[in-house]
Amino acid sequence: MLSSGQTFIIAEAGVNHNGSLEKALALNAARRSLVAARTVRAGELWAIENLTCKRPGNGAPPIEFWDYLGKPASRDYKADELLQP
């Protein structure tokens, strides 16, 4: 078990990150993606009711949440389907 002051390496997708335990926990929490909260039809506007964040983090990043709001979906999405950047 590592203490919070120790430095270690996290291997993720072939990239090494040097940092503290707190940084590693933050990276783990940050690996999320935007997903359709329910079925969304092409042309339907993205809104708080149909857009959410979930794991895994290999889709559009949550930081883009506000960029999507009010814009039309480019295609049909099933519930829990990842949005791609």
Cα separation, 82 vs 85, whole angstroms:
10
Kindly state whether residues 3 and 17 are assigned to the same domain.
yes
Kindly state whether residues 40 and 78 are assigned to the same domain.
yes
Residue 9 has pLDDT above 60, yes or no: no
State pLDDT tens for residues 15-63: 445 566 666 555 555 689 999 999 999 999 999 999 999 998 889 999 9
pTM of the model: 0.64
Kindly state whether residues 24 and 41 are assigned to the same domain.
no
- CA distances, 64 to each of 19, 33, 83 (Å): 26, 9, 10
Q: What is the domain range of residue 17?
A: 1-30
The DSSP element (H or E) to which 30 belongs, if any, is helix 21-30
Q: How many domains does the chain have?
A: 2
